[in-house]
Amino acid sequence: MPKLKPIIAATPEDLAGALQLPTATAKEWQVQHALLKRLKEIVRKNKLTHGEIAKRAGTSRTRITAILNDDLEHVSTDLLIRVLASLGYRVRVSVVQSNTAA
């Protein structure tokens, strides 16, 4: 069996490149990660249970647990926004021109 050489990806763009995915995918990951980070802060600050969040958001506790354990594989950005909205938060979006195209 040949030895595998580990690849270290410091940024979402590096990871997308290593996986041969479009740079736009990395940008989507960044948005989801920002939403997840804020959601975790809100949950911690308000001492909310996964069950409480699930009930408010109209989803399962299992799904909320997966999200809060950083499993975003089958989670859409709109679900994260819906969960935040159910907790009384609004997501604001800003679009700015970048130096490079996605």
Give the predicted TM-score (pTM) of the model: 0.79
Which pLDDT value is given to residue 30? 87
- Helix and strand numbers (H, E) in the chain are 5, 0
Q: Convert 47-82 to b/e letters by CB count within 10 Å (16 or more is b).
A: ebebebbbebbebeeebbebbbeeebeebeeebbbb
Segments of the chain with pLDDT less than 50: none
Give CA–CA dist 77/79, Å, rounded. 5
Domains of the chain: total: 1
Average pLDDT in the chain: 89
Which pLDDT value is given to residue 58? 95
Whether 43 is covered by a domain: the verdict is: yes
Domain of 61? 33-90
Torsion on CA atoms 75, 101, 11, 69, rounded to nearest 10 = -10
Whether 10 is covered by a domain: the verdict is: no
Which pLDDT value is given to residue 97? 86
